[in-house]
Chains A and B, each alone.
Chain A
Amino acid sequence: MRIRCPYCGERGLEEFTYRGDATVTRPETLDQTAEAAWVDYVYLRDNPAGPHREHWYHGAGCHAWLVVTRDVRTHEILGVELAGGPA
């Protein structure tokens, strides 16, 4: 698999580390009523058959965290962006 890092260009899979679902958002509140949201954020993951937004880390390159949109059925990469927003 090849990932086109916005900083480094297209690089081989062996330079990256996979983390997981990029669609979850860290809850902003520490209130006990947010327990379900925290459990959802830390533990619960969807497993869609198709395009999936996921975090990859370019550890052997620029150390950028990327959001890679990948079709998990075909490994086709539909988009790559920086996790923190545009470069």
Chain B
Amino acid sequence: MTIGTPTDQPSRLAFGGLIDRRLPLRFRFDDLELTGYAGDTLASALIANDVKLVGRSFKYHRPRGILTAGSEEPNALVELRAGPRREPNTRATTIELYDGLAADSQNRWPSLRHDLLAVNQLAAPFLGAGFYYKTFMWPAAFWEKVYEPAIRRAAGLGRAATAADPDPYEKAFAFCDVLVIGGGPAGLAAALAAGRAGARVILCDEDFLAGGRLNAERRGVGDKPAYAWAAEAVAELAAMPDVTLMPRTTVYGVYDGGTYAAIERVGDHLPVPAPHTPRQRNWKIVAKRTVLAAGAIERPIVFGGNDRPGVMLAGAVRTYLNRFAAAPGRRAVVFANNDEAAATTADLAAAGVVVAAVVDTRRDVPAATREAAKAAGALLVAEGRIVEAKGGRRGVRSALIRNRDGRDMHLACDLIAVSGGWSPTIQLTSHLGAKPMWDEARAAQLPGALPPGMAVAGAAAGDFGLGSCLAEGHAAGADAAEALGHDRSSGAAPVADDEPAGLAPYWHVKDSAGKAFVDFQNDVSVSDVALAVRDGFRIAEHLKRYTTLGMATDQGKTGNTAGMAVLAEATARPVAEVGMTTFRPPYVPVAIGAFAGHHRGKAFRPTRLAPSHAWAAERGAVFVETGNWLRAQWYPEAGETDWLESVTREVKGTRERVGVCDVSTLGKIDVQGPDAGTFLDRVYANTFSTLPVGKARYGLMLREDGFVLDDGTTARLGEEHYFMTTTTANAVKVMQHLEYCHQVIWPDLDVQMVSVTEQWAQYAIAGPKARAVVAALLDPSQDVSNEAFPYLAAGPVTVCGGVAGRLYRLSFSGELAYEIGVPARYGDALIRAIMTAGAPHGIVPYGTEALGVMRIEKGHPAGNELNGQTTAHDLGFGKLLSKKKDFIGRFMAARPALTDPGRTTLVGVKPVEPGARLRGGAHFVPRDATVSSENDQGYLTSVAFSPELGHWIGLGFLANGPERYGEVIRAADPLRSADVMVEVCAPCFIDPEGARLRV
């Protein structure tokens, strides 16, 4: 007897395994304090500690144990860690044990052993296939209030953490010649062959220890034990400079152009990720060639009580015995339809586990199995079956076995090792849409058409023998390297025997007693499939939706094939005819955090800081996000309690004295070339080729469908040199549009353009004292008098002692105003210089709010008016549309519906009651009409409190607007119960003649 030492791990074998017994690790599972070893998974450590009950099932809360030893695990889902790091639905079979690991069972209340919700089992007749559709049809209100909350509480998986995940995640990119997916025998052989040939290789393996089944079987490669060969192969690969080994990395998606998505669990095997490393890294790997060596997944045979703890796949039993030196039971029954029976029996016996019986469904049991059973002292039941696994919540206690004559026997056991054959792991071959093919001889889905550049080797191709895996992997690796121009210098393929398979398909025990499950995670039983067939669902895709078969977090990796086979039997058709559901990414669940990477919180998108940002922050500015920019919204001063108070002061200061505003965020595009004027004539609705050098002009840009795209001012700095500005919001869009127009529509024009938004810091200095401030900034002997530098003048200047800049006499505020541009690196220095120069004149910095107030007072349209639904006519710019030239949008803008005078047109409004407040978004209806959509005549787009006028003003669009100045209408806002009588007026409230601009 080799089980039983050390005492704290009663099912740990005394020797063997790829664990490090010198490194014991303490961990907690629910209320159990336990110990495992380095090299364990949580599952193997639980098995070593005799913990069999690991979770409760989704729907019926049936006790569940550990079925597999890999990422396909449907049952052993736990909540890993606690607090904000709590991660639900993690598979105990893939969690690498670390010291201090804490895990909790999930889907039970109040405890795993006494789960009151297991009462759902009594309700099983109501929870069968299609129960969502049938039971809760009526009344509809019951669904939301009664059924769904109750079901959500009773059924379901783990609990998500309620606090934000504190750990970082990363996105990363990699490129290689050959991507090898899977680090088992085929994958290692492929990577060795490609690597030796000189190819750049990336090998991704899900496990923390490469080797796959080489670490799980008592086999040999050449003259070495299989696990030793694997370790040597890994060492050789690690020493190759062009080979990258990526352990703990699952390739989960295949995309176009040889792009693969992979999730690397960088820090999941640690309580907290190491400093400066992420928890997980989401890779995009671009590969010229790919070898899929993802192996195969063993599938169960379906029989009564097959979901009880203690029923385990035979391959997993061997993995726990051989790799982890942990015995999943003391007394086993082996149940198989293939030659896995022999190896499993032998391995169990070698570990000291009693094998009570070998139940083989085949009529002719091969000699190897007979001999293994005999050597183990096990009863061999040929052409037999297990009709029920009996037991309680602690797991299996006996197997009810029926022989070929129909005679039953009860055998005590605590482990049933079951094998229904293997299904190649072909999911990734289907991600681009190819359908797999059913192979009758192997009773398995095989890859259909492959993604470009992919080859499949070994068990993933349906060739399960170890010798085949090694030979095919080697050939695929060498082929891939050769196809990329490398010499075929890969040496000889590693050699091993092919073990026999001897599969005789046997899917489920028809005379099972009790519930027999095909999908453990979603609790789908054979009777659910039968019910679905009775209800008329006869193909795989329909069966899936009706029963939820294969829709859980494991995507039916262990259960789908059996489910389809049961469906085929129930409809008396071959499996090939019922079809298969579609495989889509991701192959394994991927945390949302990994998709977000660093792009969370403020890092979701870049924050662009204006050149005056540091200075504005020092002044205590309140900032606002506009597009990607952080702009000063207003600059509160001591004693001010209300934003309106600050903004009003800024507006008054500007209109009475002088103000300064950072306008660097406007898009700036430098346009040069002999055809620059012609090009601007074609992209602007008005004309720029006639603009004199040294002048600026307002420009309106349309889309080709005739609606307004953007506006701004463009200055002509030289015969072949223009400087365009766009709105802040449309800077990128306009640049893209100009490049489209040039490269696609008029490639013959000799013109070049480049975005210089980031290169120039630009400040607006506005107000009656603006000239004095500007004159103080300019180097001597530069004349800014009204005569020398009139309204709309533009040109180069030097400021602050030789800094080359540009001066534009532009005004958005309606005051005497200039904009000074300097290279962005001088932006901080210039704002400080402006404040110093302006101090004697009482200069006031103003933010975007004051800017907005002043532009509304002047009736300039901005983002609220340039909303993609308005035409030049709507904005009152109809006269700007040139009749002398073609330009983008000209033809379509002339369509009758776009120039209909009945369209809503820009107007100003002011409240009849001077104290009334206006609200943006209010709709206009005639004075005495009811507020209804039939009477809707337009809407209010922008509002502001005008400090100069002392009341609220607004801009909006009104049907037949210009004909209705003086009319009183209602601005109705039913959402905020606001209803204000307003008088329609021209959309310019201050200095309509523009006298202030030209002084």
| Residues of chain A whose beta carbon lies under 8 Å from any beta carbon of chain B | 1-2, 10, 12-13, 17, 19, 22, 26-27, 30, 34-35, 38, 41-43, 55, 57, 59, 63-65, 74-77, 82-85
Contact = CB atoms under 8 A, between A and B. Distances in A.
A30 B886 contact: yes
Interface stretch (B8-16, B69-77, B566-574, B739-747): B739-747
A35 to B, nearest CB: 8
Nearest to A83: B744
Given A17-B736, A19-B740, A83-B744, A27 B257 contact: no
Q: Which 6 A-B pairs have the closest CB atoms?
A: A2-B257, A84-B747, A1-B256, A75-B256, A65-B743, A83-B744
A30 B739 contact: no
B704 interface: yes
Interface string B741-771: 0111101000000000000000000000000
Contacts of A82: 743
A65 B284 contact: no
Interface of B: 173, 255-259, 284, 286, 432, 452, 704-705, 732, 735-736, 739-740, 742-745, 747, 886, 890-892
Contacts of A10: 257
B744 to A, nearest CB: 4
Contacts of A35: 891
Contact of B891 (A22, A38, A55, A64): A38
Q: Is the interface of A mostly helix, strand, loop or mixed?
A: mixed
A12 B261 CA distance: 13
A34 B891 contact: yes
Nearest to B255: A1
Contacts of A65: 739-740, 743-744
B743 A2 contact: no
A78 to B, nearest CB: 13
Contacts of B705: 42-43
Nearest to A39: B892
Contacts of B736: 17, 57, 59
Contacts of B890: 30
B681 to A, nearest CB: 14
A64 B743 contact: yes
A71 B806 CA distance: 50
Contacts of B259: 1-2, 12
A41 B258 CA distance: 35
B891 A85 contact: no
A9 B890 CA distance: 37
Contacts of B891: 27, 30, 34-35, 38
A26 B891 CA distance: 11
B961 to A, nearest CB: 27
B745 A26 contact: yes
A27 B742 CA distance: 16
Contacts of A57: 736, 739-740
Nearest to A3: B257
B435 to A, nearest CB: 14
A2 B745 contact: no
B284 A12 contact: yes
Nearest to A19: B740
Contacts of A34: 891
26 contacts: A1-B255, A2-B259, A12-B259, A12-B284, A17-B736, A27-B891, A30-B886, A35-B891, A41-B704, A43-B705, A55-B744, A59-B732, A63-B735, A64-B743, A65-B739, A65-B743, A65-B744, A74-B432, A75-B256, A83-B743, A83-B744, A83-B747, A84-B743, A84-B744, A84-B747, A85-B747
A64 to B, nearest CB: 7
Nearest to A70: B256
Nearest to A37: B891
B98 to A, nearest CB: 35
A63 to B, nearest CB: 6
Contacts of A2: 256-259, 286
A15 B286 CA distance: 15
A35 B744 CA distance: 21
B606 to A, nearest CB: 13
A17 B739 CA distance: 13
Which of A55, A64, A77, A83 lies at the interface centre, i.e. has the most chain B CB atoms within 10 A of its CB? A83
Nearest to A30: B891
A38 B255 CA distance: 38
Contacts of A42: 704-705, 892
Nearest to B747: A84
Given A26-B704, A30-B890, 10 more contacts: A10-B257, A22-B744, A30-B886, A30-B891, A42-B704, A42-B892, A57-B736, A74-B432, A76-B256, A85-B747
Contact of A1 (B173, B257, B704, B745): B257
Contacts of B173: 12
A34 B259 CA distance: 45
B743 A77 contact: no
Nearest to A82: B743
A15 to B, nearest CB: 12
A54 B671 CA distance: 27
B731 to A, nearest CB: 13
Contacts of B284: 12
Contacts of B886: 30
Contacts of A22: 744
A38 B893 CA distance: 11
B238 to A, nearest CB: 29
Contacts of B747: 83-85
A22 to B, nearest CB: 8
Contacts of B255: 1
Contacts of A19: 740
A35 B334 CA distance: 80
A74 B736 CA distance: 28
Nearest to B732: A59
A74 B256 CA distance: 8
Contacts of A43: 705
A69 to B, nearest CB: 14
Contacts of A26: 704, 745
A84 B259 CA distance: 29
A77 B173 CA distance: 22
A42 B895 CA distance: 13
B896 to A, nearest CB: 11
Contacts of B256: 1-2, 13, 75-76
A65 to B, nearest CB: 4
A59 to B, nearest CB: 6
Contacts of A41: 704
Contacts of A38: 891-892
Contacts of A85: 747
A41 B694 CA distance: 38
A85 B275 CA distance: 51
A16 to B, nearest CB: 12
A37 to B, nearest CB: 9
Nearest to A22: B744
Contacts of A64: 743
A13 B891 CA distance: 34
A84 B740 CA distance: 10
Contacts of A1: 255-257, 259
Contacts of B452: 76
Nearest to B895: A35
Which of B704, B705, B743, B745 lies at the interface centre, i.e. has the most chain A CB atoms within 10 A of its CB? B743
Nearest to A27: B891
Nearest to B887: A30
Contacts of A77: 257
B751 to A, nearest CB: 12
A42 B890 CA distance: 12
Nearest to A43: B705
Contacts of B732: 59
A65 B732 CA distance: 15
A23 B736 CA distance: 19
A35 B896 CA distance: 12
Which of B257, B886, B892 lies at the interface centre, i.e. has the most chain A CB atoms within 10 A of its CB? B257
Given A27-B891, A30-B886, A34-B891, A63 B739 contact: yes
A77 B284 CA distance: 20
A77 B256 CA distance: 10
